[in-house]
Amino acid sequence: MNNTISRVSEQERSLWRVYLTLTKPKVVALMLLTALVGMCLAVPGALPIQEAILGLSGIAFMAGSAAAFNHLIDRRIDAIMARTYKRPLPSGELHTSNVFVFASGLGLVGFLVLYVGVNGLTAWLTFASLLGYAAIYTMYLKRETPQNIVIAGMAGAMPPLLGWTSVTGELHANAWLLVMIIFIWTPPHFWALAIHRKEDYAKAEIPMLPVTHGEEYTKTSILLYTILLFVVCLLPVLVGMAGVFYLVSATILSGLFMYHAWKLKFEPSKNQAITTFKFSIWHLMLLFSALLVDHYFV
């Protein structure tokens, strides 16, 4: 009897982990960090705790919903690619109907939390981001154009704006500046991964830039975007959003991103593309953390 209960309990824990995988928790965590920074920079003093908690919760639910819909829509592609064939749907751990109900439920709960507990502006903007990623990008752009990441980058860049509107209820130019940073960061981040997984994307017939235009063109594009990103990352200082601590941090971090892009282009090695991809994640995480530290502690 005890063994049976133990097995059932273990199965329930395993199923919970499978559903958690659908939400891409690491990606959502980074999005929530940028949303939190948007909240903090929007107010001069302490955060309004209720709006912050409900705002982050609603954004997390809807981001998880978008990720789950991405799993659902991309299940045939995921089954082909070495990076994704072990995901819950292609591996047979979950049925499509279960994922659809889960994704829809998450999205509905997230929207209601934002609409009822925060404000309508944030709810509708977050819903638009969900549609932009799950429908426009995943269903169409990803399969049709090598500029998929560039065009759809706005959907993934929205969290700072969503955080800002959660605590203010209004749009502001400074919030859009934070969005611009992530929007410019997105192409070199994903293109570095696309170079590393070029054969996978070609096999799945996904027109990522390295597949359609070649690796050298993509490497040049990555380098040019990191140069542009270096400039854009300095704008918060120019408009008075941040001070010296952020300036030094942004200069070092963006300089290192440019260095990795330069090595990828002119001194390539077997693992340089994935190294550049991994550093890009640290770049964004530390950059927004520096904004937070600069705002409160410097």
One domain for residues 11 and 148: yes
One domain for residues 259 and 282: yes
User: How many other C-beta atoms can be found within 10 angstroms of the C-beta atom of residue 238?
Assistant: 10
Using alpha carbons, select from 182, 171, 191, 204 the residue that is nearest to residue 261: 191
Q: What is the pLDDT of residue 152?
A: 86
One domain for residues 62 and 200: no
One domain for residues 176 and 145: no
Residue 85: which domain range?
Answer: 1-170
Q: What is the pLDDT of residue 2?
A: 46
Q: What is the CATH number of the domain that holds 41?
A: 1.10.357.140
Using alpha carbons, select from 155, 64, 161, 154 the residue that is nearest to residue 122: 161
One domain for residues 236 and 152: no
Alpha helix positions (H), the chain: 2-22, 25-42, 49-73, 75-80, 96-117, 120-131, 142-144, 148-157, 159-168, 173-196, 198-203, 209-213, 215-232, 235-238, 244-266, 272-297
One domain for residues 143 and 177: no
- The packing angle between helices 173-196 and 159-168, to 10°, is 150
pLDDT digits (tens, 9 = 90+) for 139-186: 999 999 999 999 889 999 999 999 999 999 999 999 999 999 999 999
One domain for residues 272 and 192: yes
Q: What is the pLDDT of residue 5?
A: 45
Domain endpoint, select from 118, 145, 170: 170
Low-confidence ranges of the chain (pLDDT < 70): 1-13
pLDDT digits (tens, 9 = 90+) for 108-151: 999 999 999 999 999 999 999 999 999 999 999 999 999 999 98
Using alpha carbons, select from 260, 255, 253 the residue that is nearest to residue 288: 253
- Kindly report the pTM of this predicted structure: 0.93
One domain for residues 193 and 85: no
For the chain, the domain total comes to 2
Q: Say how far apart CA 148 and CA 216 lie, in whole Å.
A: 19
One domain for residues 203 and 99: no
